[in-house]
Amino acid sequence: AQSVTQPDIHITVSEGASLELRCNYSYGATPYLFWYVQSPGQGLQLLLKYFSGDTLVQGIKGFEAEFKRSQSSFNLRKPSVHWSDAAEYFCAVGPGTASKLTFGTGTRLQVTL
C-alpha cells in the first residue's frame, strides 16, 4: 500500500532563511508526487508536481522539489522564505485505486520576522 511520511509536524524559520520540508513515500511503481499548501481556513493549493523527467521540479511561489528515487524522498525547498509562506504543507503520492492520492499528515510552517 502506498504511504507518505512527513516527519516534521512543525517547523519555524526566520524570514529570509532557506527552507526544506521533508517528504518520504512508499509506492510500488514510479510515483506521481505532489506538494500542496493550505493557508488557515482555506482549501489546498497545488504548489508543484512530479511525473517524470527532470528530478528537480519548479513550482509556484518560488518553491522547488527534488525527487530522489534511491531515498524515496520528495523534499520541498525554497531559498528565501517570506512571512506569507506561513501555512501548512502537504505532500501526496499517487495514483491509487480510482486515481486516489495519499496525503501526508502535513508540516506546519511558522515564519518569524
Partner 1 sequence: SQTIHQWPATLVQPVGSPLSLECTVEGTSNPNLYWYRQAAGRGLQLLFYSVGIGQISSEVPQNLSASRPQDRQFILSSKKLLLSDSGFYLCAWRTSGSGYEQYFGPGTRLTVT
Stretch that binds partner 1, among 12-20, 32-40, 64-72, 74-82 (CB under 8 A): 32-40
- Given 12, 16, 51, 69, the residue binding partner 1 (CB under 8 A): 51
What is the identity of the amino acid at 63?
Answer: F
Largest CA distance in the chain: 43
Closest separation in Å from C-beta 42 to partner 1: 6
Cα 61 to Cα 75: distance, rounded to the nearest angstrom: 16
- Given 24, 25, 27, 34, the residue binding partner 1 (CB under 8 A): 34
Cα 75 to Cα 80: distance, rounded to the nearest angstrom: 16
83 binds partner 1 (CB under 8 A): no
1 binds partner 1 (CB under 8 A): no
Residue pair 92/3 in contact by the 8 Å Cβ criterion: no
Residue pair 33/48 in contact by the 8 Å Cβ criterion: no
Q: Which residues bind partner 1 (CB under 8 A)?
A: 32, 34, 36, 41-46, 49, 51, 90, 94-95, 98-101, 103-106
